[in-house]
Amino acid sequence: MLRTLSLASVIALLPAAAGAQETTDTELHTKSVEAEKAVAALAETPAIGLADGVQAPAVALVDTRGVPQTFETLAGAKGTVVAFVRSADWCPFCKKQLIDLEAAAAPLAAAGWTLVAVSYDPVETLAGYKADKSLSYELLSDEGSVAIKAFNLLNTDMKPGSRYDGIPHPAIVFVGAEGSIKRTLREDGYKTRPAVDLVIETAEGL
């Protein structure tokens, strides 16, 4: 009788044990998949800038008239082409890029994109530079570098509190009208910037 009860008990426990094993295997598989996704996401996230396809951060900037703006309020039918530059005040490479980009403003508009440039310069500096160089596109002030940080472009090599604290790694970011990042163009270092023809060609292909 005791032997029969022991066997019956063991047999009765088998389905429960099997279920427990199945649950464990399922949990392990789920955790494994989640880990793989996390690793993949990490691999896709660039060290500088944000990955294509992610939602662009919602940021507020100020135009040269002192009016608050967002990339959404400025966007063309396709979106906004945002040139993050270090400074229109002291950076000669940025000044040249801002002048060169004037040639891209009309072709970009024709392709459905609005061109803007962003720097940590105060409104007055940007307004003066825009007027002096007769730029047709908008220059946006990001004092405090909130947008620069949100787009993962902050140059952290600069000494805190210095004149250069808050500058971005130069980049051109294509933000779609629906708010996602379509493409980012960058060059190594800060002296070379994406060619104007490449900017136009990229916009037309998106």
- Walk along the chain (206 residues) and give the pLDDT tens digit of each residue: 334 444 444 444 444 444 444 556 666 555 554 545 444 444 466 799 999 999 999 999 999 999 999 999 999 999 999 999 999 999 999 999 999 999 999 999 999 999 999 999 999 999 999 999 999 999 999 999 999 999 999 999 999 999 999 999 999 999 999 999 999 999 999 999 999 999 999 999 99
Long-range contacts of 15-19 (CB under 8 A, 24+ apart): none
Task: Tell me how far CA of residue 86 lies from CA of 30, 75, 98, 174, 198, in angstroms.
Answer: 44, 22, 11, 18, 20
Domain-wise residue ranges, the chain: 1-44, 61-205
The one-letter code for the residue type at 77 is: A
Query: Looking at 76-189, which runs of residues are DSSP E strands?
Result: 79-84, 113-119, 138-141, 171-176, 181-185
Domain 61-205 sits in CATH 3.40.30.10? yes
Q: For residues 156, 158, 163 and 165, what is the CA-based torsion angle, rounded to 10 degrees? A: 10
Decide if 91 contacts 117 (C-beta within 8 A).
Answer: no
Structure tokens at 46: 């660039």
What is the pLDDT, as a whole number, of residue 27? 63
Q: Report pLDDT for 46.
A: 79
Instruction: Locate 23 and state its tokens.
Output: 């649950």
The pair of structure tokens assigned to 173 is: 């970011």
Which among 152, 173, 153, 155 is positioned nearest to 71, based on CA atoms? 173
Q: Please name the helix (run of DSSP H) or strand (run of DSSP E) that holds residue 74, with its range, or none.
A: helix 71-74
Alpha-carbon gap, residue 205 to 61, rounded angstroms: 27
Q: Are 96 and 105 in contact (CB under 8 A)?
A: no
Predicted pLDDT at 111: 98
pLDDT in the model for residue 67: 97
The H or E element containing residue 20 is helix 2-44
Q: Which residue has the tokens 């900037």?
A: 61
